[in-house]
Amino acid sequence: MLPRSLNREFAFMLNDVARMLRTYADHEAGQFGITRAQWVVLVRLDRSEGLKQSELAEILDLQPISLTRLLDRLCECGLIERRPDPVDRRAKRLFLTPAARPLLEKLGDLGEELMATALAGVERDSVEHMVAQFAVVKENLRQAIAHRTGADAAGERRYG
């Protein structure tokens, strides 16, 4: 067995916590008749209404066909609508309907409850510090991905 590296332990713990949080959120979202994936779509649209479907797929790191199914279901439920793009007649822009607003408020409360449960026993200062540190990690990864994407575009050989 390999010796345990703090960096690897961090990666495993981060993955485990994220997976467990998704599982917990999936279970709790069911009380509102939606899935966690649908919840995520609604929250992203609340933050950035008017996105194209392709833009939303990229933000959520979803295959377009998977997102299409989620959007179809949310349209059927009357929570979102597709509107024509004023510039590109092939594209549709995504908007929340008025019916989505009360649900988003309830989901916001649920999200606070979920995180209160997850963070029970963790001091607020520690949470603030973790958020700040994760912002650094996120930026490091964003730059590494941008650098790698640029290197791939420049014709470097890709391994793995």
State the chain's mean pLDDT as an integer.
Answer: 91
> How many structural domains does the chain have?
2
Does one domain contain both 130 and 143?
A: yes
**Same-domain status, 96 and 152:** no
Q: Is 91 exposed, middle or buried (0-12, 13-18, 19+ CB in 10 A)?
A: middle
Q: What residue numbers bound the domain in which 107 lies?
A: 6-120
Q: Is residue 90 part of a domain?
A: yes
* pLDDT per residue as tens digits for the range 110-157: 999 999 999 999 999 999 999 999 999 999 999 998 988 776 665 554
Q: Which residues contact 51 (CB under 8 A, 6 or more apart)?
A: 44, 45, 59, 93, 94
Q: With 80 as the cut, is the pLDDT of residue 17 above it? A: yes
Residues 11, 42, single domain; the answer is yes
Domain of 92: which CATH number? 1.10.10.10
Q: Is 1 a domain residue?
A: no
Closest to 53 in 3D by CA, of 40, 67, 66 = 67
Q: What's the predicted TM-score (pTM) here?
A: 0.78
Q: Are residues 24 and 80 in the same domain?
A: yes
Residues 26, 82, single domain; the answer is yes
- Per-residue model confidence as pLDDT tens digits over 42-56: 999 999 999 999 999
Average pLDDT on 6-23 reads 95
Question: 112 and 144 share a domain?
Answer: no
75 or 91: which carries more pLDDT confidence?
75
The per-residue pLDDT for 49 is 94
